[in-house]
Amino acid sequence: MRSRRKARAAAEKKPAALTLRLAVIAGLAFLHIPLLLILLYAFTTEEKSYQFPPPGLTAKWFAAVWERPDIWQAVGLSLKVAAISTVVALVLGTLASAALWRFNFFGRESVSLLLVLPIALPGIITGISLRSAFSLAEIPFSFWTIVLGHATFCVVVVYNNVIARFRRTSGSMLEASMDLGADGFQTFRHVLLPNIATALLAGGMLAFALSFDEVIVTTFTAGQQSTLPIWMLNELVRPRQRPVTNVVAVFIIAVTSLPILGAYYLTRRGEHIAGGSR
């Protein structure tokens, strides 16, 4: 009797105590209620303050956002920066992970440390380093200086996802392909690429979300241009039309959440989304 009970307990996890459940619910509420509130505030009729509860609800702010060219410009810039940074990160991250997967070379540890450094160190250090380097080298701020900064911290996101997939890929598959007459490039196209495709997609989506949302490094590398988060930061410091900001905030949540959910579903078997901080 006793042994049967023990066997069952090992098969199922024990239900948690009530206090533990309450702590979990409270913690998760703490994480998510603020985001729901932003959604609510996007519909408020109150324009001058953050009054709660909102005196009335309206959808007119969505229309107001639609007609703001400055917002559209910022969205356009953010999308362009995120897209190009993602492409650069995909190329560099894949190359780096392939090198660290296939080769054992002197300084391998240092290289993997170098890859992680841009997100391991606080963003402000990356930002001010790049800014002072630009000024030393007399490079004027431009679209490309923003991309330079973003790609730098996006590389590691792609790298982490792709190398996790590589580690689960049997090396003999590459040998089999070469053995059957495929050269290195054919092997990449027909065997390697299909096997890492979802990891690339996941890494790319996360890199995109990270770049689209980045503000700390961008403030140092952007000059006069406004990405969407920079636009938002300016609104926070000097508010003009608060509900418009709320609508933009909802938009940012949506644009960054979708790729993250997508990346999760692409890698949920066996891999956690590999990454870290910003």
Partner 1 sequence: MDIAVRFERVSRHFGEVRAVDDVSLEVRAGEFFAMLGPSGSGKTTCLRLIAGFERPSAGHIEIFGVQADRLPPFERDVNTVFQDYALFPHMNVIDNVCYGLMVRRVSRRERHGRGAEMLNLVRLEGLETRRPSQLSGGQRQRVALARALINQPKVLLLDEPLGALDLKLREEMQSELKTLQRSLGITFVFVTHDQGEALSMSDRVAVFNKGRIAQVDTPETIYARPATRFVADFVGHANIIEPASAQRLAGRAGTFALRPEKIRFAAGGAMPETGWAMTDGQVVAAQYHGSHTRYEIRLTDGLVLIAQRQNEAEPMAASADGRVRLAWRLDDMTPLGPDSEAPP
Partner 2 sequence: MTALALEPMPRTSPLRRLSGVLYRHPHLLLLALLGPPILWLGVVYLGSLIALLLQSFFSIDEFSGVVNREFTLRTYGELAHPANLDIIGRTVMMAAAVTIAAAAIAFPIARYMALHATGRTKAVLYLLVMLPLWSSYLVRVYAWKLILAKEGIVTWVFDQLGLAWLLDGILAIPVIGGPSLSISYIGTFIVFVYIWLPFMILPIQAALERVPASLLEASADLGAKPRQTFRKVILPLAFPGVVAGSIFTFSLTLGDYIIPQIIGQSRIFIGQAVFIHQGTAGNIPLAAAFTVVPIVIMAIYLFGAKKLGAFDAL
Site for partner 2 in 205-234 (CB under 8 A): 206, 209-210, 213-216, 229, 232-233
| Structure tokens given for 120 | 């391991």
Residue 194 binds which of partner 2, partner 1, none (CB < 5-8 A, kind-dependent): partner 1
Of the candidate residues 57, 63, 111, 180, the single one contacting partner 2 (CB under 8 A): 111
Contacting partner 2 within 51-90 (CB under 8 A): 51-53, 88
- Minimum CB distance to partner 2, residue 14 (Å): 7
Contacting partner 2 within 27-46 (CB under 8 A): 27-28, 30-32, 34-35, 37-38, 41
Phi and psi angles of residue 182, each rounded to the nearest 5 degrees, phi first: -85, 130
Rounded-to-integer distance, Cα 73 and Cα 68, Å? 9
Partners of 44 in the beta sheet? Answer: 57
Q: Applying CB under 8 A, does 103 fall inside the site for partner 1?
A: no
- Minimum CB distance to partner 1, residue 138 (Å): 47
Residue 28 binds which of partner 2, partner 1, none (CB < 5-8 A, kind-dependent): partner 2
Residue closer to partner 1, measured from CB, 112 or 195: 195
Rounded-to-integer distance, Cα 278 and Cα 275, Å? 9
Q: Applying CB under 8 A, does 170 fall inside the site for partner 1?
A: yes
| Structure tokens given for 150 | 């973003």
Q: How many residues does the chain have?
A: 278
Q: What is the DSSP letter of 277?
A: -
Rounded-to-integer distance, Cα 204 and Cα 161, Å? 9
Partners of 57 in the beta sheet? Answer: 44
